Structure 1
Amino acid sequence: MKTFAILLIAANCTAAHADDSAATIPYRAAVSSSAQLPEPDQIEIEMGAISSRTNELRRNGLPYQLTIPFSDEWGVMLGGEAYVSERNAGSRAHGAGDTHFTLKRAFLIDNATAFGLELSTKIPTAKDSIGSGKEDYALNGIFSQDFGDLHMDLNLISTRMGALIAGTSRMQTGWAAALSSPITEKWGALVEVSGTRQNGAPSTAEVLTTMAYRLNKRMTFDFGVAKGLNKASPNWSVFTGIVMSVANPW
């Protein structure tokens, strides 16, 4: 647990880009991300817990993510799961999860509009009983738009799967659309729908909702639930976490 704590202190999650008067909306459990990066003088850190069920599979994880912005337009993200526990039809597995590294480029059109690109790789740090044991590569195109206090993120993701299951294509397409907004000075909310499509494999679809409470402008707590919309998606997921920002030493 000491190693986990060190990782979390050095970790982050992409949060909705908002001014100081708006509630911060965490994106850790969501599929979508915002085109914008955090302020260049801030590193964002997130830690959390998530539990999901898909038919007979029960999965619990401790996700983390670190976002380091170098400017308004460039940044990197490092994330993954510090610990995973899975139970499926009597078999059990546990250990560290896979690690994800992302290079992000934001294209800021104006104060309300931005495009983004994320180039990501999954590093197979999990043992084969938890992960696929192979690298995945993904390109995510993002469009973000503010409509007053309402923030919209549209994501289109293309992933080259490292582990190929017989009868399926190597490329997987994913999509996500999210709306987030402050409700009061302290509370905010996010609603997202997302899905994936891969030739030879069942398509997935999911709806997610998150509530966030901003303790102060540098710390936000969140909790939420996700529901699969078809049999190939997780039946239910519940999650909670904390987002923090710290001064960027670079």
Structure 2
Amino acid sequence: MTAQVLVVDEGEADRQALCAAVAALGHTVHAVASGQQALAHLARASGVDVVLLDLVMAGPTSCTDVLMAIKSDPRLQHLPVIVVSTAEHDDEIARSIELGASDHLGKPVRAPLLAARIDAGLAQKRLRDTELDHLRQVDGVIDAAESIQAGDYDVSSLEPIAQRADRLGTLARVVVQMAGEVQARESELRRQVTDLRIEIDRSQLHRRVSEVTDSEHYRRLAEQAGELRSLIRGSGEASADGGSRPGSAPD
């Protein structure tokens, strides 16, 4: 496994030796000469996998300061930090472990131990990255389920998760299928409600018409209209009879 390794050491000779040893293992090396430079590099650069941090630095930003800054940053707190020192700094080594350093490497650095420490740090980081990615995807499934509950059926964000072959992928596929089924049932329910409203409107209209036509007032109006039509017909017939003998002499 290759890695991006940040080497932090104030001593130029030690820094160059450590960089050469790391590069000989096939890793990409970034080197800085102080704790301040280390924090600046981590702030602007992404992809650092392991930090090799000199335990004893005389600058204003000590090994302790660097460790505390890394472990208090949510973006960096899981980054493996291996402190490097000579054997006489047992107390400082113990303190650095308490502050979150993942391992210790003695000076002068020996290649087999360096390789083992870096590999262990990489394994630790990649395991943690996998866990964090899994947790993010679990949150994605939960968010999708909550959106379905709220009536939003856009579950396109679950498509990458649904490609997984594990149980999380199965859960994502179930949620996607559930979203489709719920959306289809809701559409059918809306159609049925619309049809029911139309039938209710028709029924209410028929009932209101019946209420009008069955009323006493309507019957009186109908009778009066019938009488009026009879009068109009009678008047028309009389006019027709009077005009059927044109030119006849009056009595």
Pick the TM interval, shorter chain.
under 0.3
The structure that has the greater radius of gyration is 2
Flag the structure with more relative contact order, 1 or 2, with Cα contacts below 8 A and sequence separation at least 6. Answer: 1
Per the normalisation by structure 1, the TM-score is 0.24
- Per the normalisation by structure 2, the TM-score is 0.24
Answer 1 or 2: which has greater helix percent.
2
